[in-house]
Structure 1
């Protein structure tokens, strides 16, 4: 299975046009020893993006000039729009682009470059069976009309992006296996299952989403140990703690915290806002630790952890409801680095429209608050309920203290209080004070200098003076100093 999946997330400070993305893809999959980025899978993203349908074919054709073979040296794995959330024609056209691209892969290399398709925001087993059937239908049509060879069908990868689905992942996979048999007569023995940190974090908070992702990885391993089938977890994470903290400064801790993954997403900020030496060390560490068996005894405290997760989500959502207006305002200053569609929106649990995860995080840092801190005072409730709760939580989420340490270092409450009302500020201050009360001054794996804090203050001043162009530039400058946009 591929270990490193390069993606097109707009979390770096580098701007890409759809035309740039073909060259980018080739550089992503050229081996490290040849000066490339060493990934063995490239996600071409159609979810909420204005990606040309010809992009997959263009990558295949460009590969001819670089001594790399799609389908052997690397895979191209498109993420197609979910027809429940985006236009149905975009969904069908993206599937068709993926299937027809294999005609060119077979023509030039005698391989299938596209062997998997990702469906984002997967919700039900019936929905997934319908999409897999749709892929098979398109493959049959292209095979009949244009001589596509069908040695193997393109398999669907469900991408689950809610903590609820993460915590029940084993039941969902088993249900999906049965739905494939009943609905389309497809007997699958192996499943690649994708779990995403960002959306679950934005909607339920950092603690809840972290518990959910960890539980999903463990439950997928337990499911395969209890059955004759195989699962290969893919984790989707970015550099900020809220989005998974897959960063060069905690690479060794990261592979231990999320042990059990088979594939990890290598998002844009890790590729383009990281020094080459650190990048190489990070992706090699991630690849070398892929597929290691996690400690399944951690699931012994499953019910305790689930109870803490939902309590943490409740506290986080209370805070989010008060922060959302400020986040929406700040998100308008955040650079868009990929050709995204403005029509594709997400809503918070409170019902209010929210920016997507990267702009959400960028907005929070630009206001002077690390987003993983929001709602963290819930640990006081955990400790009061049972002193053992915090011990269980910290054993389960081994990276949590460093997540908070990083975000504490990049927070400035003197700046943040200028963006929110007094009650909201006091709630956030309590979150930070509670962390310090229980864990002291947590060290940060990376520390900003005084220049960073001065730019945070300048950004607020430029907003107050309505100097918007300078404010937008400062948001990017702060991102470059952090090592990620959001």
Structure 2
């Protein structure tokens, strides 16, 4: 890389307002190619993630970008000035997508052939891939070696005497790729140094871009554990990088709501303070499409030009891990009790992209307690829609922490109080009563509701106001009540409208 990207525009389906340039209700097909161009040229993102995980991605994206928007890309060389990074499906977890893993890797040399012809010289237009759900070094090593030995290595295969694949397809470039581990579960976060070390010993990369997830860890473990896990992983990885003399360039996947990272144009400084060691931040769809354009572009420009000031050193890691362990059980118990309601409401949240079934920890057969849930964005949107912001779930755990454990949260999650308060204004006491009365029809555990009430009371004990505090949040709570009433009475024809109105108030699906 000529420079480490500061902003990575993604294709997350989390936006409330459909962009004006989209024909229809959601972004699909060639819209995504145009979207990538706008990410670079209009919004100023350094990098775009081309996502093969859980969706059909255009394998001719580079050809289309360079041919349709040639003036821009003549002055902004793809792979040098701006970057296109592929997110692969994980073939060990998403078994139905194994061939897509191969298809995405085969895109790389084709893209570089197109770029070579466009620029009149060798250009590594695409040379980085993101591997989600990375859990061990072998995941990275095999991905790297598959490209090296199969995608590149096939050129040496002899087809008939005297004729090799090389003679048919020409030389395959680049000769190797950089594999970016996307770390998403607790065990992998706590073993990130082992994952990087194992990869480094075999591949000897010049640097490692480490991608830390925020949305799925929050959905699986709760808000506070997700942030603390990220801090531990960042601290361990950067310490290891110093020991090995290996540059580590952290990335973090932060969405617009507090539960998913709280990176939106109005909270840029807060997130930069929270993660001072992170080089690359995801600029997700809601960030770009649910706020005024001038505000969005100024925020992205600020991130792009903001100095990376320091480390992410965890204070008292043992206490942090104790907090995570105590929190998870309380949080997951509530999720289990509310799963039916979450899944019911999720059906009314409008799709924003053409997505396939997502495979995550909750949705996988070996996942937590057999509970199946929608994607993280829809999960958050569903809970907000019924007046139960997920940021507060499990908060009652704080009552039983030691002073040292509570201080571990305060010292390591700087904005925890701000984030919880930002969500708490959408909490609806009346909605809880309504859900309790209709618990049988909604398939909700009264015990889970009681636990959530204790979470809200804990917030109030900590001086955090729970309930609407301004015009927009009061309107949001009223829509939540209408939605719940519609579900209980079986009159669901207006539910989608209520959901959409609340999305616009929140400036995000979830």
Query: Is the counterpart of residue 6 in structure 1 residue 9 in structure 2?
Result: yes
User: Post-superposition shift, 1:10?
Assistant: 0.5
User: Post-superposition shift, 1:444?
Assistant: 9.6
Task: State how far apart, in whole Å, the 2-side matches of 1:290 and 1:120 are.
Answer: 28
- Secondary structure of the 2:208 match is strand
Q: TM-score, structure 1 length as denominator?
A: 0.91
Moved runs in structure 1, 4+ residues, more than 6 A? Answer: 442-447
Q: Sort the Cα spacing of 1:27 and 1:408 in 2 relative to 1 into closer, same or farther, 3 A.
A: same
Check conservation: 2:50, 2:87, Cα contact below 8 A. Answer: yes
CA deviation digits over 1:252-306, x for unaligned, max 9? 111001111011111000011112232123223322336332253xx34011101
User: Post-superposition shift, 1:53?
Assistant: 2.3
User: Post-superposition shift, 1:392?
Assistant: 2.4
- Secondary structure of the 1:218 match is helix
Q: Sort the Cα spacing of 1:24 and 1:151 in 2 relative to 1 into closer, same or farther, 3 A.
A: closer
Q: Sort the Cα spacing of 1:445 and 1:411 in 2 relative to 1 into closer, same or farther, 3 A.
A: closer
What is the alpha-carbon root mean square deviation over aligned residues? 2.2
Partner of 1:71: 79
Q: TM-score, structure 2 length as denominator?
A: 0.87
List aligned pairs for 1:253-292, cutoff 5 A.
Answer: 253-289=270-306, 291-292=308-309
Partner of 2:197: 174
Query: Is the counterpart of residue 138 in structure 1 residue 138 in structure 2?
Result: no
Which has the higher Rg, Structure 1 or Structure 2? 2
Q: 1:472 aligns with which of 476, 479, 496?
A: 496
Check conservation: 1:8, 1:43, Cα contact below 8 A. Answer: yes
Partner of 1:108: 118
Task: State how far apart, in whole Å, the 1-side matches of 2:285 and 2:215 are.
Answer: 14
Q: 1:37 aligns with which of 18, 40, 43?
A: 43
Partner of 1:84: 92
List aligned pairs for 1:127-166, cutoff 5 A.
Answer: 127-136=139-148, 137-141=150-154, 144=166, 145-148=168-171, 150=173, 153-166=176-189
Check conservation: 1:402, 1:444, Cα contact below 8 A. Answer: no
Task: State how far apart, in whole Å, the 1-side matches of 2:295 and 2:463 are.
Answer: 29
Task: State how far apart, in whole Å, the 2-side matches of 1:116 and 1:445 are.
Answer: 45
Partner of 1:33: none
Q: Sort the Cα spacing of 1:453 and 1:372 in 2 relative to 1 into closer, same or farther, 3 A.
A: same
- Secondary structure of the 1:350 match is helix
- Secondary structure of the 1:158 match is strand
Name which of structure 1's ranges 218-227 and 204-213 shifts more when overlaid on structure 2.
218-227
How many residues end up aligned between the 2 structures?
A: 470
CA deviation digits over 1:162-213, x for unaligned, max 9? 12212222222112212xx2xxxx3223111111111111111111111011
List aligned pairs for 1:406-485, cutoff 5 A.
Answer: 406-419=422-435, 420-441=444-465, 448-485=472-509
Q: Sort the Cα spacing of 1:445 and 1:232 in 2 relative to 1 into closer, same or farther, 3 A.
A: farther
Task: State how far apart, in whole Å, the 2-side matches of 1:445 and 1:275 are.
Answer: 23
Task: State how far apart, in whole Å, the 1-side matches of 2:472 and 2:392 are.
Answer: 17
CA deviation digits over 1:21-48, x for unaligned, max 9? 0111100011xxxxx0110111010101
Task: State how far apart, in whole Å, the 2-side matches of 1:165 and 1:319 are.
Answer: 24
